[in-house]
């Protein structure tokens, strides 16, 4: 089993709940569940941004997150149907959901520029963390080549999201 890099561990420790399962210990079906869960969390953040933000660039980013993560999830479901398997719930997925609840609560309280900044900074951080887990912990440990290929394709798209979010963070300028 391939172990993640120290950088990944540092990022994951800062963002993931301490109770969450170590991502390198997940099997293929648990990784698929975690990937869909991470996508659904991002879709939920995007819906909140669309509900409360009036900034065109933020709204366009949120719409892209809903469109792309829904498409990637659909690809995972199609692959699972083809392989005759089902994604498996696990402690790592539940840890992601626990952490997301706090972020959604915070987003629900914010409005205007404060919401825009919180949302897009969280998006940059969230994608950086998830991309690190997928690249360093998931992909090297996936057994099924079709599942690995799907994760590699998704990672390319999620890295694009990270770059897009980081560009928007820079466009907001420094925090006051």
Partner 1 sequence: MRWFNVLFLISACTGPETIDVEIRDLVFHPFDRLVSVGDTVVWTNRDVVPHTVTFGDREGQDEVPPGGTWELIVPPGDTLRYRCRHHPLMTGRLVVR
Would you tell me which residues interact with partner 1 (CB under 8 A)? 60, 63-64, 67-68, 71-72, 74-75, 153-154, 156-157, 159-160, 163-164, 167
Task: Report in angstroms how near the CB of residue 20 gets to partner 1 at its nearest.
Answer: 27
Whichever of 12 and 36 has its CB closer to partner 1, that residue is: 36
Task: Report in angstroms how near the CB of residue 151 gets to partner 1 at its nearest.
Answer: 12
Task: Report in angstroms how near the CB of residue 132 gets to partner 1 at its nearest.
Answer: 18
Whichever of 102 and 160 has its CB closer to partner 1, that residue is: 160
Cβ neighbourhood burial of 128 (10 Å; 0-12, 13-18, 19+)? middle
Whichever of 25 and 74 has its CB closer to partner 1, that residue is: 74
Select from 31, 166, 131 the least CA-distant residue to 89.
31
Whichever of 138 and 158 has its CB closer to partner 1, that residue is: 158
Q: What is the DSSP letter of 16?
A: S
DSSP, collapsed to helix, strand or coil, labels residue 24 as helix
Token digits of residue 62: 């949120």
Task: Report in angstroms how near the CB of residue 35 gets to partner 1 at its nearest.
Answer: 13
Contact 44, 104 (CB under 8 A): yes
Contact 130, 38 (CB under 8 A): yes
- Helix (H) / strand (E) element for 144: namely none
How far apart are the two ends of the chain, measured CA to CA in Å?
45
Q: What is the DSSP letter of 88?
A: -
Whichever of 9 and 57 has its CB closer to partner 1, that residue is: 57
Task: Report in angstroms how near the CB of residue 156 gets to partner 1 at its nearest.
Answer: 4
């Amino acid at each position: 089993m391939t172990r993640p890099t120290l950088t990944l561990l540092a990022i994951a420790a800062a963002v993931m709940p301490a109770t969450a399962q170590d991502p390198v210990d997940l099997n293929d079906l648990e990784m698929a569940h975690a990937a869909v869960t991470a996508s659904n969390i991002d879709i939920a953040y995007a819906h909140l941004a669309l509900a409360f933000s009036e900034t065109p660039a933020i709204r366009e980013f949120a719409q892209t997150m809903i469109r792309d993560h829904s498409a990637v999830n659909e690809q995972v479901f199609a692959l699972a149907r083809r392989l005759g398997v089902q994604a498996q719930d696990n402690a790592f997925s539940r840890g992601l959901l626990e952490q997301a609840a706090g972020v959604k609560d915070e987003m629900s309280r914010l409005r205007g520029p404060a919401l825009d900044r919180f949302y897009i900074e969280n998006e940059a951080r969230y994608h950086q963390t998830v991309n690190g887990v997928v690249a360093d912990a998931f992909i090297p440990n996936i057994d099924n080549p079709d599942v690995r290929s799907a994760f590699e394709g998704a990672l390319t798209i999620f890295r694009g999201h990270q770059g897009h979010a980081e560009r928007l963070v820079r466009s907001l300028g420094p925090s006051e």
